Structure 1
Amino acid sequence: MEEVSNKQVVLKDYVNGFPKESDMLINTSATISLNLPQGSNALLVKNLYLSCDPYMRNRMTKTEDSYVPSFTPGSPMEGFGVAKVLDSGHANFKKGDLFWGITGWEEYSIITAPESVFKIEHTDVPLSYYTGILGMPGMTAYFGFYEICAPKKGECVFVSAASGAVGQLVGQFAKLLGCYVVGSAGTKEKVELLKNKFGFDEAFNYKEEQDLDATLKRYFPDGIDIYFENVGGKMLEAVLLNMRLHGRISVCGMISQYNLEQGDGVRNLFCLVSKRLSMKGFIVADHYHLYPKYMEMVIPLIKQGKICYIEDIVEGLESTPVTLVGLFSGRNVGKQVVVVARE
């Protein structure tokens, strides 16, 4: 069987605090056969695009208290990506098919559970979109906003980390519904993007605000109906004070907490009682059965130009360590994608 080089990104050891580029290494000595063994039910794939996502930080720490298993030091990391099938032992896939789902951070991967990935049917949109708007982040925005928040026209919506892969979509979904939408981000460039590209009514740089409670009162003088939570910590504390009666909080993530050895305690939680708030966390993988419904909604919006999606694309597998680390300092603008190979 033909063996070829298979460059990989490997986690050296479990990480404490902020991850560093040096916590990962590029393994250039691995090889792989480009043919599956006889009788295999797996897929042999060539990885085209890899997604860098904040949830991956939790997988870099040894923990049993998580919805996704920790990475194994010394082995290739993995995450969402887009790949092309080179050899298939599964009835639902043939050579040349494309899919999105969990794959290895390497040039070639063997997918041992093909039923867990999604075959790509629409190829008249950028393939990289399947790491974002047409993949896990898109479904996250869709379920977290529509299903948990049950939004109504005219409501006031606040989105933190609003220029990221999920936040930019939540804001646009809310605007399409006729809501008043404000987003927070960490740079002037991102604030301008929210207002001028994504159509948010207002946006602010949280790093320039001394008093988040006062900031939110300025943008939401009558309170917040819906908060899409991506940050946690002090932002959540301030939001709780500014929620309206019967407001809804969809908890997607808390990126401010991921690199802390001891997470922040959150004050103002009694607002959940006094304001009769609903606050619910979710894991998008529990709701993938809604993916066809989501695609029916979002594909026309993309083709009609009614929704905009910004990607931050870098080239080369060797770029993944510095690119992943950059997520936690807000270096990316939009969905962070690494190109492994062009189809």
Structure 2
Amino acid sequence: MTNTNREWLLAERPTGEPDQDSFELREAEVPAPDPGELLVRVRFLSVDPYMRGRMRDAESYAEPWDVGDALRGGVVGEVVESASDAYDAGDLVTGEGRWADYATLDADDVAPVDPAVAPPEAYLGVLGMPGRTAYFGLLEVGEPKPGDTVVVSGAAGAVGSVVGQIAVRNGCRVVGFAGSDEKTDWLTDDLGFDAAINYKTADDYRAELDEAAPDGVDVYFDNVGGPITDAVFTTLNLDARVAVCGQIAHYNDEETPTGPRKLPQLIPVRAKVEGLLVSDFATRFGEASERLGRWVASGDLEHRETVVEGLENAPDAFLGLFSGDNIGKQVVRVSDADAE
């Protein structure tokens, strides 16, 4: 283990879409764990769209970062020093840490990683926060029933790809929006979606939906917002359920966009629209992890990670989320298993 620890800081609050000037890489000493903590060598770190909100100086469900703060997110790491009886050096764990080579984690707030179930990076995606978001968001908020038509925006992302597969398992017709032919092919050929729409080449979202979902939409899982959501709202069936998980189309907006008012369309169909925070289901995370892990281990739930190599490229990985570079979960490989 070296004595130097690289870590990324928030250099400035971005206006509009972040760029490289929003980030600063600094070197510091490797931290020592306090009692009850673990020092881990970070193997993989997660970049997620919600982090854009933490760059704003505004109240939100996730506490904003101050300029100069170390950036934080989900990590998978190997314990190199333990000040807790719960874990030993060499154990693999996942929890929230810094965008850094080394991070200290509270032993009470981490979970073990079992490479026999899935590769370590999967614990930041299908077996981590995105997978649990998909599980509870669809089953508890969307309440799918066999025969329902489920539409997912951002369907080739970390959350949407799991949502669609769980909907397929529940006997639903599943339609996904994604941003390339490679992604739509993955949805239909590998994940079992009944239809997929490339929103970057589609001229008329409503016309595409009428063809892909001719009986209307019973459940809409919204990861994106914007004109896709506008179009889906016009196709909702009686008693439809809408789970609002993300609005990445608007995360870089400096002003709240206005446009055609869609709420009147919810009245005749009595649709339910509900915002989703996975933390509301924290007491049931064990249930989700157990079921997701079983489905992954059996091959019934597929997953994919887009891996960017090197801590120095973490900002590029994050910025790539807004141009749709990733298929499945976007992660950064910080170190290899045999790293010193």
TM-score between the two structures when normalised by the length of structure 2: 0.94
The verdict on how the C-alpha distance between 1:10 and 1:159 changes in structure 2, with shifts beyond 3 A counting, is same
What's the offset of the Cα at 1:224? Answer: 0.2
1:138 to 131, 148, 167: 131
Counting matched residue pairs gives 336
SS at match of 2:184: helix
What's the CA shift string for 1:152-197, capped at 9, x where partnerless? 1111010001000011111111111111111011111111111112
1:169 to 153, 162, 168: 162
Aligned residues of 1:228 and 1:252 also touching (Cα < 8 A)? yes
Counterpart for residue 57 of structure 1: 52
Distance 1:94 1:302 in 2: 26
Counterpart for residue 331 of structure 1: 325
What's the offset of the Cα at 1:333? Answer: 1.8
What's the offset of the Cα at 1:231? Answer: 0.8
Higher alpha-carbon deviation: 206-215 or 229-238: 206-215
1:1-343 counterparts in 2 under 5 A? 4-27=3-26, 29-33=27-31, 35-36=32-33, 40-64=35-59, 66-111=60-105, 113-120=106-113, 123-265=116-258, 267-343=261-337
Distance 2:334 2:47 in 1: 13
SS at match of 1:157: strand
What's the CA shift string for 1:40-95, capped at 9, x where partnerless? 2322221111011111111112112x011112222321111112222233343333
SS at match of 2:95: strand
Consecutive unaligned residues in structure 1, runs of 5 or more: none
Aligned residues of 2:117 and 2:296 also touching (Cα < 8 A)? no
What's the offset of the Cα at 1:291? Answer: 1.9
SS at match of 1:263: coil
> Which amino acid is 2:170 matched to?
L
Distance 1:236 1:124 in 2: 36
Tell me how large the CA RMSD over aligned residues is.
Answer: 1.7
Distance 1:97 1:265 in 2: 50
What's the offset of the Cα at 1:123? Answer: 4.2
What fraction of aligned residue pairs are identical, expressed as a percent?
A: 39
Distance 1:304 1:124 in 2: 9
Distance 2:115 2:279 in 1: 21
Distance 2:231 2:33 in 1: 54
SS at match of 1:109: strand
Distance 2:118 2:30 in 1: 31
What's the offset of the Cα at 1:264? Answer: 2.2
Distance 2:249 2:38 in 1: 37
> Which amino acid is 2:36 matched to?
N
TM-score between the two structures when normalised by the length of structure 1: 0.93
Consecutive unaligned residues in structure 2, runs of 5 or more: none
What's the CA shift string for 1:127-167, capped at 9, x where partnerless? 11101010000000000001111111111010001000011
Aligned residues of 1:156 and 1:224 also touching (Cα < 8 A)? yes
> Which amino acid is 2:28 matched to?
A
What's the offset of the Cα at 1:122? Answer: 6.1
> Which amino acid is 2:33 matched to?
L
